[in-house]
């Protein structure tokens, strides 16, 4: 079942609960990290490395280095258990990523914008994990920490008209 056709019955954590998850996170593993600047995972990785306190790990079985950091072939290969697993993988890969997340003992699985999988959420919660779906770690972190102005998300200008330039 694709994310477009799946009925959404699962309810995710509230904004205060998401803030609490991020406050209790020390390390994030980005599964499906890409070395291509056009990919969302690259944009999120750039932000997390430059504007967050988190230790960031990249997981991709084919890449060797992203943004000057080593890339690991799996969650099990990381030098520590990540607190949060941020997933940039296609829908059909999500159950396998969850199995790996549970196996290494991470506390949270976070599915990126556009990613929704009811069965993964149910299984993750049954295993005691925090679950966030269809939200961006970068946007949520910036939102809670006053950084939405980065990359033009909040220009501080409230107007329906174009600004005139001199």
Q: Please report the pLDDT score of residue 84 as a whole number.
A: 98
Q: What is the CA radius of gyration of the chain?
A: 17
Is residue 37 situated within a structural domain? yes
> What are the residues whose beta carbons fall under 8 Å from the beta carbon of 15, sequence distance 6 or more?
none
Phi then psi dihedrals of residue 133, to 5 deg? -130, 150
Q: Please report the pLDDT score of residue 145 as a whole number.
A: 78
Is residue 2 situated within a structural domain? no
Is residue 164 situated within a structural domain? no
- What CATH number did the domain enclosing 71 receive? 3.40.50.720
Express each pLDDT in 35-67 by its tens digit. Answer: 999 999 999 999 999 999 999 999 999 999 999
The pTM is what? 0.85
Residue-range definition of the domain harbouring residue 58: 15-147
The token duo for 11 is 């309810």
Angle between helices 137-144 and 40-51 (to 10 degrees): 30
> What are the residues whose beta carbons fall under 8 Å from the beta carbon of 157, sequence distance 6 or more?
163
Q: Please report the pLDDT score of residue 164 as a whole number.
A: 56
Between 153 and 166, name the one with better pLDDT.
Answer: 166
Between 151 and 144, name the one with better pLDDT.
Answer: 144
Is residue 156 situated within a structural domain? no
State how far the Cα of 51 lies from the Cα of 59, in Å rounded to an integer.
20
Express each pLDDT in 90-140 by its tens digit. Answer: 999 999 999 999 999 999 999 999 999 999 999 999 999 999 999 999 999
Is residue 36 situated within a structural domain? yes
Angle between helices 15-23 and 137-144 (to 10 degrees): 90
State how far the Cα of 23 lies from the Cα of 77, in Å rounded to an integer.
25
Between 28 and 4, name the one with better pLDDT.
Answer: 28
Whether 73 shows a pLDDT value over 80: the answer reads yes
Whether 3 shows a pLDDT value over 90: the answer reads no
């Amino acid at each position: 079942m694709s994310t477009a056709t799946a009925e959404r019955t699962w309810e995710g954590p509230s904004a205060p609960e998401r803030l609490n998850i991020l406050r209790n996170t020390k390390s994030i593993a980005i599964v499906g990290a890409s070395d291509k600047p056009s990919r969302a995972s690259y944009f999120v990785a750039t932000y997390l490395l430059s504007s967050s306190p988190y230790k960031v790990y990249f997981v991709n079985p084919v890449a060797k280095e992203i943004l000057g950091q080593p890339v690991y072939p799996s969650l099990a290969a990381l030098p520590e258990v990540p607190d949060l697993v941020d997933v940039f993988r296609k829908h059909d890969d999500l159950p396998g990523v969850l199995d790996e997340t549970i196996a290494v003992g991470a506390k949270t699985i976070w599915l990126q914008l556009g990613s929704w999988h009811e069965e993964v959420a149910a299984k993750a919660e049954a295993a005691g994990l925090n679950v966030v779906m269809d939200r961006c770690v970068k946007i949520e972190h910036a939102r809670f920490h006053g950084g939405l102005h980065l990359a033009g998300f909040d220009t501080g200008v409230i107007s329906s008209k174009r600004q005139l330039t001199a």
